[in-house]
Structure formats: structure tokens, C-alpha cells
């Protein structure tokens, strides 16, 4: 898969990311956008986010803040901000019903056809809305969503720098390659723009899915709405800097991917949905791989004397995989450095295959019973206050 992602990234770069592409802000009649910001216990970050959004140069915009039953001082901060900025409105929900439900309420209140969904810890680059909206007009009426490019702004710890490498290389490479295949596993929930008509066509977000961004991506593409990736739409976000924080986040992501696999399993038997097959199979095989990794590791630890040849083969294979992974990380960081100064963090990439693979395997296995339970149980998929990192820079 590393070779696959490398080839896809380079091909996307050569065909979809020309260096001479200029953004003509003045020569286009930009449509109105509604910026939706769902909030749950975000008193530490939401004010900075709203000030950033209000200061964007995009000419026609409204900002809708949805407080999803916060138990801290979030609502008081939102009320104050709505009095400071004329284009800011606040919706107060008394009970925590999850991000998907909050976004739906925001959609009902919105006045625009294009909805820019932003997390409450995110800071958008000034050109991000222009680049995302432009995709809807360049690529035609079937574009249902355009996902932006998340960038990490807290870079002080080992965990945050490992995630910086991941976001800048792994996630970017996968999205570029999947876009060439025609289907994207998921939009980035931290920054994405939707066509309202497309959301209404697919029944809006699934409020019983733990990751609303993955779920709505599949719903849109199953109805043959196009999902685009715009690497120039930069969004600066905070990531967890504690082991417990990153564990909770990654189990949630893995659970969301598995829930989608369980809900949309029929795509594998539909010729019309054949472009989903590589993404679907990659998800299934990745889950199986995690359990196989555990089995082989336990086998080598307890039976290394009896299967010495297998141990040698396993070591050589691991070295080869890590070597290829480092090449992939370098190429992906080199591509991403066109927009974000990340190449200097390549040293921290060495920690990625040695630590993250083991953690990711455990995450996938921990998420399996949760995904099955959630499909049987149903109901609102509520959220908890995320880990926004120890420091901001």
C-alpha cells in the first residue's frame, strides 16, 4: 500500500496541483457561504476560532455557532461573540446529541447553499474558502463536498510531531490517491464544504454514527455525488498530546470506519459501486491485518526458539516495510511542503512506523466490539470533550 500511495500522490501532484494555478479572488462572483461550528465544552478554543472566521476576507458569509449542550462556559462565550460580530448567530441546544445532530440543526438555520463545516479549535487560512468553493464551479454540478487540508499547529511534543508527520504525509497521500480512484474514504471533519442540495438528497448526516464525516462521505458517494480533495484549503488544528487523548481519538476513528463497513457492506456486491471496492477491501483487510499482527507477535515471543526461521523472516520483512515507509513519508512530506513547512520534521518520521503501527493495531482491535455494539444499539452518537493538546503555538 505504501508503494500505491506514493504512486498516487505523485500522479495527483502532476495532474491536479499545477504550480502556476492562481486564485482570482476579484474576478469571480463568490456565492454566500454558511460556516457551521458545532461546539461541546470548547470554552478554551472557540473564541479564537470565531475571531479567525469573522476576520476572513471572503465577502459573503454567515457564521452559525451550535452549542450542543455544553456543561462549561461555552454558551456564555458564544453569546458574547454574537454581540461583537453582526454575522454571527448562536443556537443553544439543551442536550448533548452529538456533532451530526448539531450540524443538522445548523443546516436548517443556514441561509446559503454552501456549508463550510469547521471544528471549534480550527483556524482557516484566508484563501481556504475560496479554494473549496471554486471546486464546485470548476468540476460541475455533481460535486457534493470538498474536503480541505488539515495542518497541525501544536508541535511541541513527540506525539504531536508524530501526528504532524501523519497528517502531512499519510493522510494527504491517501486522499490524493483515493481521489484519483474516484472515491474518498472520508472528508476531513475539521474542515469541509458541502453542497446543501447534496446533503438533503442523501438524508443529511447519520446521527447514530460515531464519525459523522466518514458516514456522510459514503452516503454522498453512494448516490454518485462527487467528493473532492483541495490541498490548498489549509486549516490549522490542535491534536491530542497525551496517550489517553490520542487513544480515545483513534478508537473513535477506527470505530467509525468499521461502522461504515458494517452499514454499507452491500457495495461490495454492486457493480455500480465498484469504485468503492478498493476502499472497502482496504478497510476490511486492515482490520484483519491487526489481528494477524497480534497473533504473529505472540507466536514469535513465546515460540521463538521453535520457529527461529520464521523469526528471521519476520525481522527482515519488518525492516523492508519500515524502509519503504520512510521513503513514502519523505515523498509525501516533500509534496506537502509546497503549502506547509513540514519537511524539517522528517526526523520525527522515524518514530512513526516503530510506534504507531503497534498502537494502531491495538486501536483497531479495541474498536471492533464497539462498532458491533453501536450497530446493534443505535441511538444518538454523542461526543465528549476532546483532548486539544497541552500547548498551542
- For every residue of 232-271, which 3-state class applies, written as one string? EEEEEECCCCCHHHHHHHHHHHHHHHHHHHHHCHHHHHCH
> Does pLDDT of 391 surpass 60?
no
pLDDT band, residue 308 (cuts 50/70/90): low
pLDDT band, residue 115 (cuts 50/70/90): very high
Higher pLDDT, 220 or 369: 220
Task: Give yes or no for a contact between 130 and 58, defined as CB atoms under 8 angstroms apart.
Answer: yes
Return the pLDDT at 378. 67
% of the chain with per-residue pLDDT over 90: 23
Higher pLDDT, 45 or 316: 45
Angstrom distance (rounded) from CA 131 to CA 268:
33
Rounded to 10 deg, the angle between the 172-181 and 308-336 helix axes is: 80
Q: Where in the chain is the domain with CATH 3.90.550.10?
A: 2-13+33-240
> Does pLDDT of 306 surpass 70?
no
- Report pLDDT digits (tens) over 88-101: 999 998 888 888 89
Return the pLDDT at 207. 87
DSSP letter (8 states) at residue 32: P
Return the pLDDT at 351. 67
DSSP letter (8 states) at residue 215: H
18 burial type by CB count under 10 A (0-12 exposed, 13-18 middle, 19+ buried): exposed
Q: Which of 3.30.420.40, 3.40.1380.20, 3.40.50.720, 3.90.550.10 would CATH assign to domain 2-13+33-240?
A: 3.90.550.10
Higher pLDDT, 311 or 339: 339
> Does pLDDT of 137 surpass 90?
no
> Does pLDDT of 388 surpass 50?
yes
Return the pLDDT at 66. 92
pTM recorded for the entire structure: 0.85
> Does pLDDT of 80 surpass 70?
yes
Phi, psi of 155 (to 5 degrees): -135, 35
> Does pLDDT of 322 surpass 60?
yes
Q: What is the mean pLDDT of residues 164-187?
A: 82
Residues in the chain: 393
Q: What is the mean pLDDT of residues 230-237?
A: 89
Return the pLDDT at 350. 67
Angstrom distance (rounded) from CA 117 to CA 190:
7
Question: What rounded mean pLDDT belongs to the chain?
Answer: 83
- HSE at residue 68, side-chain half, CA atoms within 13 A, is 26
pLDDT band, residue 385 (cuts 50/70/90): low
Inter-CA distances, 62 with 19, 188, 269, 342, Å: 32, 21, 43, 32
Q: What is the mean pLDDT of residues 326-352?
A: 77
Which range of 23-27, 64-68, 207-211, 246-250 scores highest in mean pLDDT? It is 64-68
For residues 366, 236, 138, 99, the Cα torsion angle rounded to the nearest 10 degrees is: 50
Angstrom distance (rounded) from CA 149 to CA 38:
19
pLDDT band, residue 44 (cuts 50/70/90): confident
Q: How many CB atoms lie within 10 A of CB 215?
A: 24
Task: Give yes or no for a contact between 216 and 184, defined as CB atoms under 8 angstroms apart.
Answer: no
Task: Tell me the three cell numbers of residue 126.
Answer: 484566508
**Which of 337, 359, 352, 362 has its CA nearest to residue 172?**
337
Characterize 94-131 residue by residue with b for buried, 16 or more Cβ atoms within 10 angstroms of its Cβ, and e for exposed: eebbbbbbbbbbbbeebebebbbbbbbbbbbbebbbbb
Angstrom distance (rounded) from CA 98 to CA 64:
16
Inter-CA distances, 280 with 106, 182, 225, 252, 297, Å: 31, 13, 18, 18, 26
The DSSP element (H or E) to which 135 belongs, if any, is helix 128-138
Task: Give yes or no for a contact between 65 and 40, defined as CB atoms under 8 angstroms apart.
Answer: no
Angstrom distance (rounded) from CA 153 to CA 351:
19
Amino acid at each position: 500500500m505504501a508503494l500505491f500511495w506514493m504512486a498516487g500522490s505523485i500522479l495527483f501532484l502532476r495532474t491536479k496541483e499545477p504550480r502556476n494555478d492562481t486564485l482570482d479572488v476579484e474576478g469571480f462572483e463568490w456565492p454566500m457561504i454558511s460556516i457551521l461550528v458545532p461546539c461541546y465544552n470548547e470554552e478554551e478554543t472557540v473564541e479564537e476560532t470565531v475571531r479567525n472566521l469573522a476576520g476572513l476576507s471572503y465577502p459573503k458569509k454567515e457564521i452559525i455557532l451550535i452549542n450542543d449542550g455544553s456543561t462549561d462556559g461555552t454558551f456564555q462565550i458564544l453569546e458574547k461573540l454574537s454581540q461583537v460580530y453582526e454575522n454571527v448567530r448562536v443556537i443553544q441546544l439543551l442536550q448533548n446529541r452529538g456533532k451530526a445532530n448539531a450540524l443538522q440543526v445548523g443546516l436548517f438555520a443556514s441561509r446559503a447553499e454552501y456549508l463550510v463545516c469547521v471544528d471549534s479549535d480550527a483556524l482557516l487560512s484566508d484563501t481556504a474558502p475560496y479554494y473549496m468553493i471554486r471546486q464546485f464551479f470548476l468540476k460541475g454540478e455533481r460535486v457534493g463536498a470538498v474536503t480541505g487540508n488539515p495542518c497541525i499547529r501544536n508541535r511541541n511534543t513527540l506525539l504531536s510531531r508524530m501526528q504532524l508527520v501523519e497528517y502531512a504525509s499519510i493522510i494527504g497521500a491517501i486522499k490524493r490517491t483515493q481521489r484519483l480512484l474516484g472515491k474518498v474514504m472520508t472528508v476531513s471533519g475539521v474542515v469541509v464544504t458541502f453542497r446543501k442540495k447534496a446533503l438533503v438528497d442523501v438524508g443529511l448526516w447519520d446521527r447514530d454514527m460515531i464519525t459523522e464525516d466518514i458516514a456522510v462521505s459514503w452516503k454522498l458517494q453512494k448516490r454518485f455525488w462527487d467528493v473532492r480533495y483541495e490541498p490548498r484549503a489549509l486549516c490549522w488544528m490542535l491534536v491530542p498530546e497525551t496517550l489517553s487523548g490520542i487513544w480515545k481519538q483513534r478508537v473513535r476513528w477506527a470505530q467509525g470506519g468499521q461502522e461504515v463497513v458494517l452499514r454499507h457492506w452491500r457495495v461490495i456486491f454492486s457493480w455500480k459501486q465498484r469504485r468503492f471496492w478498493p476502499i472497502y477491501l482496504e478497510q476490511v483487510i486492515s482490520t484483519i491485518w491487526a489481528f494477524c499482527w497480534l497473533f504473529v507477535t505472540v507466536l514469535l515471543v513465546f515460540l521463538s526458539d521453535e520457529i527461529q526461521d520464521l523469526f528471521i523472516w519476520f525481522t527482515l520483512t519488518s525492516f523492508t516495510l519500515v524502509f519503504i515507509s520512510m521513503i513514502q513519508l519523505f515523498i509525501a512530506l516533500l509534496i506537502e511542503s509546497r503549502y506547509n513547512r513540514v519537511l524539517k520534521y522528517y526526523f520525527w518520521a522515524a518514530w512513526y512506523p516503530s510506534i504507531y503501527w503497534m498502537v494502531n493495531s491495538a486501536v483497531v482491535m479495541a474498536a471492533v466490539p464497539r462498532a458491533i455494539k453501536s450497530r446493534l444499539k443505535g441511538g444518538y452518537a454523542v461526543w465528549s470533550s476532546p483532548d486539544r493538546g497541552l500547548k498551542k503555538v
